[in-house]
Amino acid sequence: MRLRLRLRPRALAALTALTVAAGVLVVATAPARALAGDHATLTWRGATPVAGHAGTFTAPAGASVTAVIAVLNAANHPISGANVTFDATTVAMDSNGLPVWKTLPQTLVTTGADGLAARTFTNIPHEIDLHVNFETPRPDEVNGGTYCCDWVGDLDSTIVATPKLTLTTATTVARPFLASAATVRLTPVTSVNYRIERASSPNGPWTRVLADNAFFAPKAGVYYVRAVTEPLPGDILPVLRSNVVKVSVRKGAVPTWLKQLNRFRKEYGAPAAAEYAPYNSWIRLHNIYSYANHVLGHEEFKSKKKYTAKGAQAGRSSVLSQGNTAKNATPVWMNAPFHAVSMLDPEATLASFNSYKGYSGLWPITQLSLGGKYDKPKQPYVWPKRGGTQIKRTFAGEWPDPLASCPRAYNTVAARNRGIGAPFYISYGDTLPGNHVPAKVKASLTYKGKKLKVCVLTETTYKNPLAAERSLVRGILKWRHHTVAVFPLKALKKGRYKARVTASGKTTTWKFVVP
C-alpha cells in the first residue's frame, strides 16, 4: 500500500555551529555579552537519534522522554544560574490521519551546580517539536560579580513517535488463490507505505504478497503472515514489522474461471491473480440487472428494474459477456483485445467473478502498491505466448468495435460473415524510447511463407467516429502497458504463424500455433 509519510522536522535556527554525536545535540554561538565560549548541549533520555536528520530523534509511541540541557563554559565546566526556557508543540493524528497541533505551557528552568536543566514529556503522541533557548550570567561591569542573564543561543529538536504496527487477518482460508482481507493498523495513527509478506516458517524466508490489503497463497498449507513498512527516501521512521499471524490454507478447489485466467496470465508473463470474493456479489447484482432488462452494457440506470449502486459500480469496472458461463467466459474475453488486456494486466492481481443466467462479469482489480513494478519487462508481453496456442480462429466481436479503425475490407457484410481473424497483442510497458508510446508501428503475420493482410490498433492511431469510444479505447491501450493489437483480415487456419511487430524502431518476432 502506498501512502506518503508526513513528518515535519523543524529547521535549526540562529545557530553558528551545530553537530550531533552519540545522541547529543550541541549548540555553540557567538555570545552577545556573556562569557566567550558559553554553550549548551541537548541529550534526550529514552530517544534515539535519526541518521541524516540533525536534531531529529525517535522514541516508542506513548513513551516518556526527557530533554536534558547542559549549559557549559569554554572549558566545558557546568554553569549554574543559567536560565533555560522550554517551548514545545505536540502533533497528534486524528482518526482520518490528519495532524492536530497543541502548544504546551512554557517552562523556565534555572540550572544548578551541575549546569543541568531538564523537562520530561510523557505519553508522546505522533511528534514533539521542542524549542529551547538559554541565557548565562555575565560579569556585572558596574557593581562587580555577575549579572543574570544574557541570551547565548537556542536550538530546535524533534521527537517522532515510532508507532506500533498491528496486522489482523483470518487464520483459516478455504483454498489456494482466495484472498483474505489483511487489516494493518498503526498506533498512533500515521501514514506509511507497507506490504504484506508470507512465509512457510515463522523465521522466513519472506515473500511479498502481490495485493494491497490482502493475503493469499498459491498452495494449501500453513503460512505465516506479517506486514512490513517501506520507508521512502527521506522518511524519518525506520522499517517496522508487525506481529506474525499463522494462517492455514485448506485444499479447496480453485474455480474454473480463475484457473483459466491464471493460465492466460502466466502465458502473457503476468503474475497469478487471486479471487476477491466480496465483489462477486456486486457483479451478480449487475448481471441480475442485465437479465431483468435484457441488455448487456457497462452502465445501469436508476429508472430501470433491479438498479443498485453496487451493481452499477461493478458494471463500470468489469469485463462483461452474454451467452457464456463460468466455464467458457474467460476464453471468450481473451479473443477481445480491450477486455483481454484488462484481465492480463500484471498489476491486477485480484479478480472477482459471477455468472448469472447467461450473463457473466469479471472484475480485474489493480493493486496500487504494484504501480510501476511491471512497467519494464525484460521482453514485451505478448499474446498468444511465444510458442503458444491461439485458442480461437476468428474474432467474435467486442464493444467498442476494434474494426471501426480498420480498412473497409474489414467492415463489409461478407467479411463479417466470413469471419475476421483472431487478434494477437503485444504490450511494451515503459520499454520503448522517449515517452514509451508506440510510434511508426508496423506489423505482419506470416502463414506458410505468405504475409497476411492485417490491421494495427495503437493508442494514437485507433479511429472511431464516436469520440467517447475513441477516447476510451486509446486510454485502454495506453494505460494497459502501451498495447498494440493486430487483426488479420481473414480467419486463421490450422498451422504455425509468425508474428512480427515493429514499434519506435524496436522489432519483436514470435511464433504461435493454431490447432
What is the per-residue pLDDT for 130? 94
- CA 184 to chain CA centroid, Å, is 14
Please give the domain boundaries of the chain with CATH numbers for all domains. Answer: 17-162 (2.60.40.10), 164-249 (2.60.40), 255-374 (3.40.33.10), 375-515 (2.60.40.1220)
What is the per-residue pLDDT for 182? 96
The pairing of strands 56-60 and 48-49 is antiparallel
Rounded CA gap, 11 and 307, in Å? 56
If one counts every other C-beta atom within 10 angstroms of the C-beta of residue 116, the result is 17
Residue 331 has pLDDT above 80, yes or no: yes
Residue 198 has pLDDT above 80, yes or no: yes
- Report which DSSP code applies to 178: B
- Report which DSSP code applies to 72: E
Least confident of 14-28, 99-113, 194-208: 14-28
In tens, the pLDDT along 374-396 reads 999 999 999 999 999 999 999 98
Q: How confident is the model at residue 1 (pLDDT cuts 50, 70, 90)?
A: very low
Q: Are 149 and 82 in contact (CB under 8 A)?
A: yes
In tens, the pLDDT along 271-299 reads 999 999 999 999 999 999 999 999 999 99
What value does the mean pLDDT of the chain take?
A: 88
Residue 238 has pLDDT above 90, yes or no: no
Torsions phi, psi for 333 (to 5 deg): -65, -30
Location of C-alpha cell 494462517? 247
**487 CB-near residues (< 8 Å, 6+ apart):** 395, 402, 403, 406, 410, 420, 421, 423, 454, 455, 457
pTM: 0.80
**219 CB-near residues (< 8 Å, 6+ apart):** 176, 249
Share of the chain above pLDDT 70, in %: 91
Q: Are 27 and 15 in contact (CB under 8 A)?
A: yes
Residue 28 has pLDDT above 60, yes or no: no
Q: Which residue has the higher pLDDT, 229 or 155?
A: 229
Residue 7 has pLDDT above 70, yes or no: no
Report CA dihedral (328, 214, 265, 353) to the nearest 10 degrees. Answer: 20
What is the per-residue pLDDT for 372? 85
Rounded CA gap, 262 and 173, in Å? 19
In tens, the pLDDT along 129-149 reads 999 998 888 776 666 666 677
